[in-house]
């Protein structure tokens, strides 16, 4: 098991991981920061991440042996690991229902078209190379959400009516992630994960709107390439590669569909 730093409450597990890593990152890695709740949970694009108790909030700090420009692919590796772990936890309780859990590119996990997992990866260069923090928030057992999130976000509990143990979920996430990470470090590419990722991709085969600051366009999402870029076929048959850092992707009518 990866070494853990556990808190009842913390501002943000990502922030805490970065603080712990500041002086000793290279010696401490890999380690995991886990909190029952966060008082300043960070989301992507400077947004806040709702982090009351009854969710799973953790950050994994790593010193990957791949070039720094490949580190962002780890977000997709984590998304697959979390999806597999959630499926394992849920399937042990619900046998006769197919789980409609999927990944909205690049790394949001959705259930019944609502977001239940967010992942925020942050990178820090230092004099020994670089370290990366992969922060994961899973809405496990929350029963209510603030009004403004109510139609977009949900939890396993609300969607499926079951409670899952955060401890079990984290154990499975660690297991699946480490299996995939070992291969990723060796290969430096997502080639090995492409098919699995695409089988979970809710956008696959669907019309998407690409919100590119240089100009919005529509097309059909075909899958991902070996670096994790989304492949979008536009009307003239050209396939464009969409890099997650620059743009976001939406369904035609909403967040997913
Ligand atoms: C998103 O906007 O989708 C990313 C959300 C990431 C939230 C997690 S919760 C644990 C970790 N600590 C943080 O402050 N953020 C991440």
CA 199 to chain centre: 16
Quote the pTM value.
0.94
Cβ 134 vs Cβ 62: under 8 Å: yes
> Comparing 93-102, 140-149, 166-175, which segment has the lowest mean pLDDT?
93-102
Cβ 167 vs Cβ 71: under 8 Å: no
Which atom from ligand 1 is nearest to the alpha carbon of 43?
Answer: 2
Cβ 125 vs Cβ 67: under 8 Å: no
Q: Which of 168, 160, 163, 169 minimizes the C-alpha distance to 138?
A: 169
State in Å: Cα 40 to ligand 1 middle: 10
Q: What is the mean pLDDT of residues 209-213?
A: 88
What does the pLDDT read at residue 45? 85
State in Å: Cα 78 to ligand 1 middle: 13
Query: Nearest-5° angle of CA 162, CA 180, CA 19?
Result: 80
Top mutation candidate among 34, 41, 52 for ligand 1, by most atoms within 8 Å of CB: 41
**Cα–Cα distance for residue pair 231/239, rounded to 1 Å:** 6
**Cα–Cα distance for residue pair 143/28, rounded to 1 Å:** 36
Token duo for residue 253: 């009518």
Top mutation candidate among 114, 137, 248 for ligand 1, by most atoms within 8 Å of CB: 137
**59 band by pLDDT with thresholds 50, 70 and 90:** very high
**Cα–Cα distance for residue pair 233/160, rounded to 1 Å:** 34
Which atom from ligand 1 is nearest to the alpha carbon of 108?
Answer: 3
> In this predicted model, what pLDDT tens digit does every residue of 2-14 receive, in sequence order?
999 999 999 999 9
Radius of gyration of the chain (CA): 18
**Cα–Cα distance for residue pair 15/101, rounded to 1 Å:** 29
Which atom from ligand 1 is nearest to the alpha carbon of 35?
Answer: 10
| Residues whose CB is less than 8 angstroms from the CB of residue 20 and which lie 6 or more positions away in sequence, other chains included | 5, 28, 31, 33, 61
**35 band by pLDDT with thresholds 50, 70 and 90:** very high
What does the pLDDT read at residue 141? 95
Question: Where does ligand 1 bind, in terms of residues with CB under 6 Å?
Answer: 12-14, 38, 41-44, 47, 49, 57-59, 108, 118-120, 135-137
Say whether pLDDT at 205 is over 80.
Answer: yes
């Amino acid at each position: 098991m990866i070494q853990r730093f556990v808190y009842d409450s913390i501002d943000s597990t990502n922030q805490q991981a970065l603080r712990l890593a500041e002086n000793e990152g290279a010696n401490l890695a890999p380690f995991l920061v886990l909190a029952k709740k966060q008082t300043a949970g960070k989301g992507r694009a400077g947004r806040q991440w709702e982090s009351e108790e009854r969710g799973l909030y953790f950050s994994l700090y790593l010193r990957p042996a791949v070039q720094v420009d490949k580190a962002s692919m780890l977000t997709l590796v984590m998304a697959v690991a979390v999806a597999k772990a959630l499926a394992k936890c849920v399937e042990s309780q619900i046998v006769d229902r197919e789980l409609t859990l999927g990944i909205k590119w690049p790394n949001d996990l959705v259930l019944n078209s609502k977001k239940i997992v967010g992942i925020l990866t942050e990178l820090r260069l230092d004099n020994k190379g670089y370290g990366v923090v992969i922060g994961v928030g899973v809405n496990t057992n929350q029963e209510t959400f603030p009004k403004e999130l109510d139609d977009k976000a949900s939890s396993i509990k609300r969607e499926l009516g079951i409670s899952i143990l955060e401890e079990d979920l984290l154990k499975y996430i660690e297991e699946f992630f480490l299996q995939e990470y070992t291969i990723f470090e060796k290969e430096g590419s997502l080639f090995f994960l492409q098919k699995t990722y695409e089988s979970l991709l809710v956008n696959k085969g669907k019309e998407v709107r690409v919100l590119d600051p240089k100009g919005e366009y529509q097309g059909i999402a075909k899958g991902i390439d070996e670096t994790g870029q989304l492949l979008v076929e536009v009307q003239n048959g050209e396939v464009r590669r969409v890099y997650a850092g620059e743009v976001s992707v939406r369904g035609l009518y909403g967040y997913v569909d």
